[in-house]
């Protein structure tokens, strides 16, 4: 049994962008699925899917991410192997085009889990992860949006997930390979106009990502501060441990708790140990796609 599920964020996606989101999800899914079908491992599949999404500047991950309050791109990412529980994450990096690959390097080649800022970038240089000029990560569209927001004054990051004028495009993927290993990864540029150094849920294990072969894997998207408060990814895993691995039930309950306990907006993708895919969200839309070896065609929706 092999399975793969991908998301490109949960927010009020305008109709003018729905087709691009659908096609982007399908393309990302295809990259990972081809790798898994050829016998590739879940970790490689997740990394390659998320690198593809980070390289698409239309989304809030990698180049084209939202700018912070001083007009800079700061990126976060995490990855976790459900077989070993090894994990790696980076946060607040300015010079890394593909933070998911740096997060994997932290997982594979360090004794640590989370590296931030200049320390993470130093680790990248020492481990042959390419760096770039921070200005290369800024898309003109995002610079104009940032200037517009600054002119208007105070901006609430929470608004990005239920107002169609703003984007909330965290990206994530969960894969199950032929050996039964589950891997999850999540990557983001964070909320628009965030305070410099702000870190959301995406690089925090248990909040933005979690994987355990015995249960499943979860990637979250949405308002990071609320997701952190309810430790959303680990909460969904815990619910699955007590309900027989019912990913859909656990996902829906997790999103209910996100709203009722933290007044949060967002969504989750779930892949259980049986390879079954589930999705839940409380935003107007969520771009997602999945495929399993028991399906004839992939599921893609926004």
Residue 4 has pLDDT above 70, yes or no: yes
Quote the pLDDT of residue 164. 46
CATH topology of domain 3-294: 3.60.20
Give CA angle at 103 (100, 106), nearest 5°: 155
Quote the pLDDT of residue 284. 95
Average pLDDT, stretch 186-193? 96
Is residue 188 annotated as part of the catalytic site, yes or no?
A: no
In what helix (H) or strand (E) does residue 259 lie, and over which residues does it extend?
helix 247-262
| Tens-digit pLDDT profile for residues 224-243 | 999 999 999 999 999 999 99
Catalytic: which of 84, 131, 170, 292? Answer: 170
Quote the pLDDT of residue 151. 85
Average pLDDT, stretch 142-154? 85
Share of the chain above pLDDT 70, in %: 95
135 CB burial (10 A radius; 0-12, 13-18, 19+): exposed
| Tens-digit pLDDT profile for residues 34-43 | 999 999 999 9
pTM (predicted TM-score): 0.95
Task: Tell me which residue has tokens 């929706």.
Answer: 301
Residue 165 has pLDDT above 50, yes or no: no
Average pLDDT, stretch 12-16? 88
Whole-number Å distance between alpha carbons of 289 and 5: 6
Quote the pLDDT of residue 150. 85
């Amino acid at each position: 049994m092999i399975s793969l599920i991908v998301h490109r964020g949960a927010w009020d996606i305008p109709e003018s962008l729905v087709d691009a989101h659908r096609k982007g999800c399908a393309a990302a899914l295809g990259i990972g699925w081809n790798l898994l079908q050829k016998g590739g491992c879940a970790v490689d599949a997740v990394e390659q899917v998320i690198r593809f999404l980070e390289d698409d500047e239309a989304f809030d991950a990698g180049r084209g991410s939202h700018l912070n309050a001083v007009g800079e791109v700061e990126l976060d990412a995490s990855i976790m192997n459900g077989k070993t529980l090894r994990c790696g994450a980076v946060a607040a990096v300015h010079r890394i085009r593909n933070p998911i690959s740096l997060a994997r390097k932290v997982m594979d080649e360090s004794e640590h889990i989370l590296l931030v800022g200049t320390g993470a970038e130093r680790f990248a240089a020492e481990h042959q992860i390419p760096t770039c000029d921070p200005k290369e990560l800024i898309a003109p569209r995002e610079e104009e949006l940032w200037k517009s927001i600054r002119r208007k004054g105070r901006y609430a990051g929470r608004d990005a997930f239920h107002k169609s004028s703003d984007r909330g495009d965290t990206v994530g993927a969960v894969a199950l390979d032929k050996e039964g290993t589950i891997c999850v990864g999540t990557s983001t540029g964070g909320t628009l106009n965030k305070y410099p150094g702000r870190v959301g849920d995406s690089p925090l294990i248990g909040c933005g990502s979690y994987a355990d072969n015995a249960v499943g894997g979860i990637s979250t998207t949405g308002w990071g501060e609320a997701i952190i408060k309810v430790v959303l990814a680990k909460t969904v895993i815990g619910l699955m441990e007590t309900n027989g691995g019912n990913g859909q039930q656990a996902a829906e309950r997790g999103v209910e708790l996100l709203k009722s306990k933290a007044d949060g907006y967002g969504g989750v993708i779930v892949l259980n140990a049986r390879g079954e895919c589930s999705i839940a969200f409380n935003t107007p839309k969520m771009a997602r796609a999945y495929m399993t070896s028991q399906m004839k065609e992939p599921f893609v929706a926004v």
